[in-house]
Amino acid sequence: MFEAILLTVITASTPLVLAALGELVTERSGVLNLGVEGMMIMGAVCAFVAAQLTGSPYAGILAGILGGGIFSLLFGFLTLTLVANQVATGLALTILGLGLSGQIGEAFVGQPGIKLQPIVFPLLSDIPFFGRVLFSQDLIFYLSVALVIGIHWFLFKSRTGLKLRAIGDSHSSAHALGINVIRTRYLAVMFGGACAGLAGAQLSLVYTPQWVENMSAGRGWIALALVVFASWRPWRILAGGYLFGAVGIGQLHAQILAQNLGIVIPSQFLSALPYAATIVVLIIISHNRRTTLINTPASLGKPFVPDR
Amino acid sequence: MRIELQKRARVSTLFSVLSPLLALALTLLFGAIMFWLLGKNPVSALYSFFIEPLLEVWSLHELAIKAAPLILIAVGLSVCYRSNNWNIGAEGQFTIGAITGSILPVLYPAWHSPMILPLMLILGMLGGALYAGIPALLKTRFNTNEILTSLMLVYIAQLYLDWLVRGPWRDPQGNNFPITKTFQIEAVVPEILSSSGRAHWAFIFAIVAAVALWFMMRFMLKGFEVSVLGQSERAGRFAGFSARRMVWFSMLLSGALAGLAGISEVSGSIGHLQPIISPGYGFTAIIVAFLGRLNPLGIIASGLVLALTYLGGEAAQLSIGISDKVSRVFQGLLLFFVLSCDTLIHYRIRLIFSGMKTGEVKG
């Protein structure tokens, strides 16, 4: 029973973790991309369609990553090359993504999907208690954990990561030092898009293997809140992602439990819990202005035009 | 090839006017390509999407019905965005306004008085304003990002409405449909010209709100305060303006207008509450605000344009059999092109071909 709940929590949390990780790298470079929801849903539809057409969920994963990554280039072009307002462009990306994905996926509504099968590590998965939870998962889960470690190493131990953080904290200084601000930001935006796309692929290949319009249901926005919650640190994204995932799954179990006990709690109130929890968490994290100021990349959301 | 920007010495008035038109033209061009890819004749598809709905009087009424909430919400949002407050939860404020405005007709269906409609509209505005007050309070008191909180509140508002119409407010004689009682006649926003179509007073409210806010932004100190604080909070402080008070002002104003849009839509166009009362007006209004260049009078025009994409979507679905989701793609594309064309207002764009050095390009 406990193991089963843990498994569902992990499945519900993985897309949040992935999307938030990608956004973390984007924001660390000083770019605020509010289009996570749009990139995620594009990833979901691309993954589903590719998996249906080829019969392989792995082709689906690849399509999800590419779909999210390429879609994010639109945002990159507008905000980095044309210096458009990042907040407005991010919203545009979400609106367009929701519309475009509905259009692409229309022919696939109601088709049974192909579920990505777990990869079982033979001996490790026999370890009692956590063996099955950790070592008989699908590829996307393993990728999410690997990404947390990889991004932590990249940001805090590698030279390129240091440059990326420098750009995020002061793009003018980084530019003066000869770092190519725009190119790095393009790469960071695309990485964010690819991660959001992968998160979307998880939704349509693992979480609920089918295509439903708007199936991301605000997860992209929750991922954005998660980055703030994690104060731009990869490990905290992992912890926060599982916390948010647990709230989501917890409300489902609470509904069943309440039903069994004969207590009437309207399902809508419980469904609203993850959104309410996000607000509460944001309040707790943001109320101290000084720590927020220290943690936030100083150039976040500010336009950059290289002076020549 | 590279693209380089050069800051203009002053804002280009030519492109301020041209950029929305350019964006529209580009959207139509991309739309034509999209229809062609879908295997439709692009010319006839665009015709039935954007021209046909304008040819009949009843259809113009429908245009006004769809434009009214878009304009009402967008003029409020324009004040928010100009003052750098990113309220993106208008859809939620619209929903709550619809709920609070409906309290009287739902709970007192037998109250027949001319007082009821004005009270409903006031309650709707209050509800929308209070709901927008939540992100305002969180921003001023706890420094919380209003983008995320206002958006989360949209989901909560929609779930609350869903619960109301399936639970306590459901009409017992409604054959188990999740709808409330149909509003009594006194609680319905009257039609403007009932002989020719359904358009109701919400459209008038929208025009009045747009003109009033245009006047405020253009001629009143408050409008100046909005612009100054939006461009530089520091400069605003020196002028004695309070950024904190501006958060409250812009959020409450846009919330009230979204709430008014909500109750007018429910009362004038639908006639009862139901789980879904809006085809995303609160989000589309963001596009309306930007296409109108955050200018209330421009927003009247852009509201009509985006209302046309809704109507065109419905019309094209019937006449040429393409899905109504195309209209959402159009809306998204339009916002993209608007934002990219706006670059032309502040910057000169030049293409640098390989082999040329930056310094060689003069002009």
Of B148, B332, B339, the CB nearest to A78: B339
Contacts of B144 in chain A (CB under 8 A): 279, 282-283, 286-287
B49 is a domain residue: yes
Q: Is the pLDDT of residue B363 over 50?
A: no
Tens-binned pLDDT, residue by residue, of chain A (308 aa) = 777 888 888 999 999 999 999 999 999 999 999 999 999 999 999 999 999 999 999 999 999 999 999 999 999 999 999 888 898 899 899 989 998 999 899 889 888 888 888 888 877 777 777 777 777 788 999 999 999 999 999 999 999 999 999 999 999 899 989 899 999 999 999 999 999 999 999 999 999 899 998 899 889 999 999 999 898 999 999 999 999 888 888 887 888 888 888 777 888 888 898 899 889 989 988 888 888 888 889 888 888 887 65
φ and ψ of B3, to 5 deg? -110, 130
Judge residue B223's burial from the number of C-beta atoms within 10 Å of its C-beta, 0-12 exposed, 13-18 middle, 19 or more buried. Answer: middle
Asked if residues A273 and A60 have their Cβ atoms less than 8 Å apart, the reply is: no
B362, containing H or E segment: none
Task: Kindly compute the dihedral angle of the four CA atoms of residues B60, B61, B67, B69, in this order, to the nearest 10 degrees.
Answer: -170
Quick one: pLDDT band at residue B82, thresholds 50, 70, 90? very high
Give dist(CA B187, CA B171) in Å, integer. Answer: 17
Structure tokens given for A153 = 């190493």
Residue that has been written with the tokens 């305002």 in this structure: B136
Min distance B51 CA to chain A CA atoms (Å):
22
Residue B362 placed within a domain? no
- Domain architecture of chain A: domains with CATH: 2-118+133-295 (1.10.3470)
Among residues A186, A205, A156, the alpha carbon closest in space to that of A18 is found at A205
pLDDT (0 to 100) of residue B355: 58
Residues B291-301: tens digit of each pLDDT: 898 999 999 99
E strand or H helix at B107: helix B103-107
What does pTM read for this prediction?
0.90
**Residue B173 — pLDDT band, cuts 50, 70, 90?**
confident
Work out how many CB contacts closer than 8 A connect A with B.
135
pLDDT digits (tens, 9 = 90+) for B102-116: 999 999 999 899 999
User: Degrees (nearest 5) of the Cα angle B309, B311, B313?
Assistant: 65
Tell me which of A42, A82, A216 to substitute to probe the interface with B (most B C-beta atoms closer than 10 Å).
A82
Residue B86 lies in a domain: yes
CATH code, domain with B219:
1.10.3470
A87 touches chain B (CB under 8 A): yes
Burial A208-218 (b: 16+ CB within 10 A, else e): ebbbbeebbbb
Amino acid at A201: A
Within a domain: B124: yes
Number of domains in chain B: 1
* CB-based contact, A272 to chain B, within 8 Å: yes
Residue B255's Cβ-side half-sphere holds a number of Cα atoms within 13 Å equal to 30
Q: Is the per-residue pLDDT at B358 higher than 80?
A: no
Q: Do B149 and A282 touch (CB under 8 A)?
A: yes
> A59 CB near a chain B CB, below 8 Å?
no
Total Cβ atoms within 10 A of residue B196: 13
Q: Taking a contact as any Cβ pair under 8 Å apart, which residues of chain A between 213 and 232 contact chain B?
A: 218, 221, 224-225, 228
**Whether the Cβ atoms of residue A39 and residue A220 lie closer than 8 Å to each other:** yes
- For residue B354, the model assigns a pLDDT of 67
| pLDDT tens per residue, range B135-167 | 999 999 998 989 999 999 999 999 999 999 998
Q: CA-nearest residue of chain B to A227?
A: B148
pLDDT over 70 percentage in chain B: 97
Angle at A166 between CA A162 and CA A170, to 5 degrees: 175
pLDDT score, position A155: 94
This model of the complex carries an ipTM of: 0.87
Mark out the alpha helices in B167-232 (DSSP H runs).
202-219, 221-231
Does residue B363 lie within any of the structural domains? no
pLDDT of residue B348: 84
**What pLDDT, on the 0 to 100 scale, is given for residue B350?**
80
**B16 vs A68, higher pLDDT:** A68
Nearest to B340 among A82, A103, A269 (CB): A82
C-alpha closest to that of A93 among A110, A106, A80, A74? A74
Residue B52 lies in a domain: yes
For residue B138, give its domain range.
Answer: 2-357
